[in-house]
Amino acid sequence: MISYTLICDKDHEFAHHFDGYDDCMAQLKAGKVTCPTCGSKTISKGLSAPNVGGKSAQPAAPSCPAAGGCMNGMCGLNR
């Protein structure tokens, strides 16, 4: 079992489980997969793959957890 992200022609994204890549393509080709949101049978495989395009969010810059900064270095950040 493998989960693929699929997208219908109305841009609805949903996940569907298949036995494998071939099963996924066969079911899409046969129109056996329908969008759970709109019922469309025009489904394509999503482009989402893990770790494509790098990290989704840059790590936040370190900042003092105290509002306005503690100003005395107690938090170790000296701000």
Positions that interact with Zn ion (CB under 5 A): 8, 10, 12, 35, 37-38, 40
Q: Which residues, listed in sequence order, are joined to residue 7 by a DSSP beta bridge?
A: 13, 44
The alpha carbons of the chain give a radius of gyration, in whole angstroms, of 22
Nearest distance in Å: CB 37, Zn ion: 4
CB of 7 or CB of 24, closer to Zn ion: 7
CB of 9 or CB of 19, closer to Zn ion: 9
Nearest distance in Å: CB 65, Zn ion: 43
CA torsion angle 37 40 44 46 (round to 10): -10
